[in-house]
Structures are given as C-alpha cells and as structure tokens.
Chain A
Amino acid sequence: MQSISFAYRQLNALILGKPLQIRLALTCMLAGGHLLIEDVPGVGKTTLAHGLAGVLGLDYRRVQFTSDLLPADMLGVSLFRPDEGRFEFQPGPVFSQLLLADEINRASPKVQSALLEAMEERQVSIDGQTHALPKPFFVIATQNPDGQLGTFPLPESQLDRFLMRISLGYPSPESERALLLAGDRRQALSALPAALQAGELLALQQKAAKVSASSALADYVLALLLASRKRELFVHGLSPRAGLAILAAARAWAMLDGRDHVLPEDVKAVFVVVCAHRLQSRLPGMSSIDAAQRLLDHVPLA
C-alpha cells in the first residue's frame, strides 16, 4: 500500500492539479481494467499514460494510431523463414504490459476492433495460432473528442471494453503556472522511479478483488442499474457487465482508501467515469456525464 501511495505522489508531482484523475487512473489499473482518456490534444494524456507505466514499473509501448495503420502493425505477423522452413511469429507492440494507443479514433475500424478484441480476450490469434498477451496487460487509449476531422468514433459496443473513461481537462491557472515554470516534462518522465516491484501490481489487483461488498451495497448498485434502464434518461440502460465494472472499480477505489469493504461513496466516486461512456443521454443538450451524475443524485442509498 505504501508503494501505491508513493506512486500516487509521484504522479501528482508529474501532472499538476489533477489528483482526482490520477487516482481514478490508478483505480482503473488496480481493478485490472483498460482506460480511455478523452481530451483535446496537449493536456497531458500521453504524459499520464507514460507516467503510469513508469511508476507502476510496467513494460511500455506506444502506438500512434493513424488511418493507414494495419492490424498487423499492432498485433504482429507470422513470417516465413525460408532458411529454417517454418513460420515465425513477430509480436507487435500489443505484446507489452502497457500499451498506449494514442488517438485510437484515428485508426480504421478494422484496427480498432483488432485491438479491442485483444483487450477483451487478452490474447491474439494470428494464422490460427493463439498468442497470450503478457500479464498484467493494460491498454490506455487516448482519443480526441468526437467531431474532429478524420476520425472514426469507437462504436458503443467497443467502448464498454474500457473500464473507465476520464478526461483531464485544462489545468487550473496555478497548476498551469507551475507547469510553465517547471522544467521539461520529458526529463521528469525519464527520471521517474518505479514505485512497484514486478508482480506487486498483480498482488494488489488480487487484493482489490477481495475487498468485500455487502448485500446492501449490491442492492445499491442494482438500484443504480435498474434506474438507468427506466428509459427516461438514457437510450439504453446499463448492462450487467457495467454493473460488474462498477463494483470492480469501487473495490479498487475502496482499497486505495485503505478500507476492506466498499461504501456507497466509493460507488459514487467511480460511477460517472465507469458508466458515462456506456450510456447515451436521451435528453437533448445533456451529456451522458451530466445524465449519469443526475442518476446518481436521484437513487437513494436505502
């Protein structure tokens, strides 16, 4: 636990004024989920991903998604070696513990679905052969907000492969001032010491999964799910998978708080980031984030 709070402090020093987002990102990692960061360019998405990989001591690869990227570029290829007379698998960048998929919505749907499939299955099938991805395996994808030119928005069915969607937003004036005065981020990034030993992250993930959730808490989550399905706020309600995601994220969040059981405030803390990208607001002029928050404000605890 000390190592995690150390990692948290390190990241806060790297990305100024975003403690909540950093904590959510760490929660997402501890819950074993993939993270989607949606924001305008230049607010530090890549820095956050890079920093996470650094402090968590993960082997890290980055792929810049472009429209001409091919699935093979990411997954790898089987090459025929004429001298040895056999095929050899050349693993792509996806075979890393943390893959930063930069600007995922710039790639063609084919590449997107190949990546999302790998994220779900945690393995890659090429030419009839299955290759397991390393453990742990995280994808941090960044994407520009919808409506930018030359993008392929991720379909909803694929969006829910991500445990959370967070956005960083512009920093506060003080933070930005500190940022301007401070030295090169890249340097700070490379100087970042790893806070976690190898295998420690897996142990923490297992510990997070064991945080107890009482039946009353399950009832609360259920009430949220049922309320989302009432079709007044949203086009489609939350799926059972979303319910499990809420609980997993709430468990990790509770563990970061040093508790062995989940409280409703943990659920409230993660609900919007876990659910907003899975929901479509029915009300005009209201984003799914606002609608999710509104849902949260209307479902009683008991």
Chain B
Amino acid sequence: MSRWRKAASSWLLRRLPRQPQLVLGQSRIYLLPTSFGWGLLLVAWAVWIGALNYAVSLAYVLSFWIVSLVLIAVVLAYRQLAGLAIRCGAADDVVAGSHALFPLQLQWPEGESRLLRLGWHDEAGGVLLDRPGEVLLPRLTLQRGQMTIPPLRVYSESPLGLVRAFAYLRLQAQVCVYPQPCADERAAASLPDGGQSREPQPVPGELFSHLVAWQPELGARRIAWKAYARRGVLLARRFEEPQAARSTCLLEWSAYPAQMTAEARLSRLCWQLLAAARRGEDVVLRLPQQELRLTAGEVRPGLRALAGFGVRDAQ
C-alpha cells in the first residue's frame, strides 16, 4: 500500500465512529475504478480516436457504450454494498499469540445476489461472501488484555469488475486475551483444606467409579452386594482415585521475585491456574487489590482477571 493511500485510509478510519452494528449507506461507501476499469476507459478512448479518424459512427457507439458501461458499473458496484447490515457477535476468549475469531454477521435483503469480500482493513484479500450469513474472521492477538475488533474493510467489484466499492467499518466488539501461559516449575502453595471449599462434598468418602467382574483376589470386601441382589452376578466395585481431599491452591502475585515484570508474572500465574484446573483443585488467586476464590473447574473468571489486570477498558 502506498504511503498516501495508507494516510487516506487512516484518515477515513479516524472519522468513523465505533458502532455495535451498522447499515452501509451513501456516506460510507467509496467508489473507485479498478485498473481494469481504467483500462477499459483507455480502450474506449482508443476506439473513439479511431472513430474520429475514420468517421465511423458505429465505433462511436462502441466507444460511448464502453464509457457508459464503466459509469453504470459505479452504480452497480454501489448496489453491491448498499443496505448491507453488519454486526459482530461475541468472540470467544483466546490466549495471546493465537488467533481470535470474530463472528461477523452480514445481512442483506433476501434474493439480491451480491458478491463481496470482507477482511481486515490492513490486510489484502478477505473472505468471499455470496450469501448473507456469519463468517469467522481470525485475527492474531499480540498482547494480553481487552482486544477491540480492528477496523474492517468490505469491498466488492461485482458485477463487472470495473469499479470497486468499498467501505471501512469500525465495529464495537471486544475479545478477552489471556496472558500466554509460561511454564512455572515452582510448585504452587496450597492452602490447608478446610473452610476453603464452599460446598460440602456431596458424598464424602468412597466414590464409586464403576463395576467390574469380581475375582477372588479382589477380596470379599469389594463385592457389590446390592448389584448381586439385583442381578445375581458377582461384581466388584471400583473406586475413584482418592480425590476426596480437594485441596486449594494459592496463587499469589507477590510470590515471584520482585524484579520480574508484570507480564511474566501473569504468564506464570496463568500457567499455574490452568495446571490447578487440570488437577481439579480450588484456587485462590491473589492479585494486588484483588482476591478471587475459584472452585475447581471455574477457571474463566481467574483467566479474565489475569487478562484484565492493569488494563483500562478501551471503551
């Protein structure tokens, strides 16, 4: 992209307000001939010169028809974008360094055939669309925090390829970018169990996992008598791994060396948080001025807290 073009598009973008959803109209659609359009105008000019020189009336017809076609293509290209409604759905949270997927919904009046491309304003190409619907546009996330959807560009050269109609869109949608987990070999401190788990264990003690055929070496203690009474076969009860003592893991901001940067801390805390979730532990996450108590499996609020740490909302 040439420098002036970049400047022009950034000027266009600056004056666009952010909107949760928008419908394209005259004020937002820009129209420029494509190189093919310019080329065809050149052909029309050459034919016109020929017509002039040889006094060929029909060549005038051809020349003017080509010119008119290019002019009409402006209107036809405009019609490709006019009335297009775009909104962005809720995007799933991602880890920094991976692609955030923005679900974009495009609607236009039923029965109109359109062909357009939707992409990021700073990337060439885009997704080709020929019917209304939803597309997922991936965007690489570079840093942790709240990522606002970058400006989009939608354009169409249909139906003739002579004129490009394009529009820049600034939508209102955000995605939460978690810190990239960084392996932290240091064992997390664990809190003594008791009082920390909020719910009482439903069935304390033995938790059955499943039944297996009983074999003498398993011992009589493990015969499932109830099952025997019901079915008349000897079955042995298998127990779940002792997970009973659900421990609570304490993750602390201040547990890291003082010279460690905030991002590095967050990455490690994130890793620890995910590891604890894998182990099925409850977590207490202590950040400056913030403390979260998370039960096992409830990892998202923790990740969101890490993602949003020290970040002001862009809104």
Contacts and interface: CB of A to CB of B under 8 A. Distances in A.
B210 A67 contact: no
Contacts of B203: 67-68, 108
Contacts of A70: 208, 210-211
| Contact size range, A | 10 to 19
A71 to B, nearest CB: 7
Contacts of A108: 202-203
A179 interface: no
Interface string A67-87: 110111100011110000000
A287 interface: no
Contacts of A72: 210-211
B213 A80 contact: yes
Contacts of B213: 77-80
Contact of A77 (B202, B208, B211): B211
A206 interface: no
Interface string A52-73: 0000000000000001101111
B296 to A, nearest CB: 13
B210 A90 contact: no
B202 A90 contact: no
B233 A73 contact: no
B208 A90 contact: no
Interface residues of B, number: 12
Contacts of A79: 213, 233, 235
Nearest to B233: A79
A70 B212 CA distance: 12
Nearest to A72: B211
B21 to A, nearest CB: 13
A220 interface: no
A190 to B, nearest CB: 23
A77 B230 CA distance: 13
B227 A73 contact: yes
Interface string B200-231: 00110000101111000000000000010011
Interface in B133-171: none
A68 B208 contact: yes
A148 to B, nearest CB: 14
A72 B227 CA distance: 10
Contacts of A77: 210-213, 235
A70 B227 CA distance: 10
Nearest to A109: B202
Interface in B63-101: none
B163 to A, nearest CB: 35
Nearest to A77: B211
A77 B235 CA distance: 9
Interface in A28-62: none
B233 A90 contact: yes
A80 B214 CA distance: 9
Nearest to A71: B210
Nearest to A67: B203
5 contacts: A70-B208, A77-B235, A78-B213, A79-B213, A80-B213
Given A70-B211, A71-B210, A73-B227, 12 more contacts: A67-B202, A68-B203, A68-B208, A70-B208, A72-B211, A73-B230, A77-B211, A79-B233, A90-B233, A108-B202, A108-B203, A152-B202
